[in-house]
C-alpha cells in the first residue's frame, strides 16, 4: 500500500479499480471496514460511506457479520427520471401545450377500481388529456383521481394547469409503482395521437399512494418513436 485515500469518493474509485483489475473477483469477500480504513489511511466511516454507495448501486453485497462481497450478479440499477411532461418537452426545446379532452366524475371501471382499491360504489375523477410538443401530439394521459384522497382536485380547472403538474405541486405521495410496456395503438389512441392503428406505443402506468389510500392512477401513452433514456 502506498497512497492514502482522503475522501469517500477516492475510496470508492479505488474499490472500483480493484473490481476492474480483477484483484477482487465476483463472489470474493473483501476486507472488513476497519482493515480497509487502516489500509487507506482514513476513518472507518469514510470507508463505510464508499462501500454503502457501491452496495446501493448493486456492485457489492453487504451483510452484518458475513462481511462484504463483490456481487456475483450485479443487478444494475438504472434511475429513470420521470419529469413533469411540460418540463420534459420544454427541456427539449419544444413548445408545450395541452388539451383536456374529457373530464368526468364517475364510477371507475372494475379494473381501475380494483387496482386503486376503491369501494365498489366509489366515484372518482376521470381525466383524459393530450400533451403537445410544438402542436404535435406527444402523449395521451388517462387519469383517475381519488377525490377522497385529494378533495381539492374537484375544484381545479385542469384545462389551465395539467393534472400532471397540479398533482405534483399539491398531492405529494408516499409511495407508488410504475410499469412500462409496449402496446399496439387502439383505434382511439391512434386517433388522439394522430397515428395509425396498430403502431407500437410506449406506455407508462403509474399508481401513487399516500400510505394506504390510493391517490391517482395514470396511464401515459406516448406518440410513436418515444424513447426513455438514462445512464448507468
Partner DNA sequence: CAGTGGTCTAGACCACAAG
Partner DNA sequence: TTGTGGTCTAGACCACTGG
Residues in the site for a copy of itself, rule: CB under 8 A?
Answer: 16, 19-20, 26, 58-59, 72-84, 87, 165, 168-169, 172-184, 198-203, 206, 208, 210, 224-232
Rounded Cα gap, residues 45 and 228, in angstroms: 37
What does 46 bind: DNA, a copy of itself, none (CB cut-off 5 to 8 Å by kind)?
A: DNA
Residue 1 Cβ vs DNA, minimum distance, rounded to whole Å: 15
Question: With contact defined as beta carbons under 8 Å apart, do 76 and 68 qualify?
Answer: no
Residue 148 or 199 having the CB closest to a copy of itself: 199
Determine how many CB atoms are found less than 10 A away from the CB of residue 135: 9
Residue 71 Cβ vs a copy of itself, minimum distance, rounded to whole Å: 9
Rounded Cα gap, residues 204 and 181, in angstroms: 7
Rounded Cα gap, residues 195 and 215, in angstroms: 31
Residue 25, CA distances (Å) to 1, 11, 121, 148, 167 in order: 19, 18, 58, 53, 47
Rounded Cα gap, residues 25 and 29, in angstroms: 9
Residue 97 or 224 having the CB closest to a copy of itself: 224
Residue 55 or 161 having the CB closest to DNA: 55
Mask: binding to DNA, 15-54, rule CB under 7 A, as x and -? Answer: -----------------xxx------xxxxxx-xx-xx--
Q: Which residues bind DNA (CB under 7 A)?
A: 6-9, 32-34, 41-46, 48-49, 51-52, 55, 62-68
Amino acid at each position: 500500500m502506498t497512497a492514502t485515500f482522503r475522501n469517500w469518493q477516492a475510496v470508492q474509485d479505488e474499490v472500483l479499480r480493484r473490481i476492474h483489475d480483477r484483484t477482487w473477483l465476483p463472489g470474493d469477500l473483501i476486507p472488513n471496514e476497519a482493515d480497509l480504513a487502516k489500509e487507506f489511511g482514513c476513518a472507518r466511516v469514510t470507508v463505510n460511506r464508499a462501500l454503502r454507495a457501491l452496495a446501493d448501486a448493486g456492485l457489492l453485497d453487504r451483510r452484518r457479520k458475513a462481511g462484504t462481497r463483490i456481487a456475483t450478479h450485479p443487478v444494475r440499477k438504472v434511475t429513470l427520471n420521470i419529469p413533469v411532461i411540460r418540463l420534459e418537452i420544454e427541456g427539449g426545446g419544444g413548445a408545450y401545450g395541452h388539451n383536456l379532452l374529457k373530464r368526468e366524475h364517475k364510477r371507475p371501471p372494475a379494473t381501475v377500481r380494483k387496482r386503486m382499491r376503491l369501494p365498489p360504489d366509489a366515484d372518482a375523477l376521470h381525466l383524459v388529456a393530450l400533451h403537445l410538443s410544438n402542436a404535435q401530439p406527444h402523449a395521451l394521459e388517462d387519469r383517475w383521481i381519488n377525490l377522497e384522497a385529494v378533495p381539492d382536485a374537484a375544484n381545479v380547472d385542469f384545462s389551465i394547469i395539467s393534472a400532471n403538474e397540479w398533482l405534483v405541486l399539491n398531492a405529494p405521495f408516499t409511495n407508488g409503482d410504475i410499469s412500462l410496456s409496449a402496446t399496439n395503438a387502439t383505434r382511439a389512441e391512434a386517433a388522439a395521437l394522430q397515428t395509425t392503428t396498430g403502431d407500437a406505443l410506449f406506455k407508462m402506468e403509474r399508481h401513487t399512494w399516500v400510505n394506504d389510500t390510493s391517490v391517482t392512477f395514470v396511464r401515459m401513452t406516448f406518440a410513436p418513436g418515444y424513447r426513455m433514456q438514462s445512464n448507468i
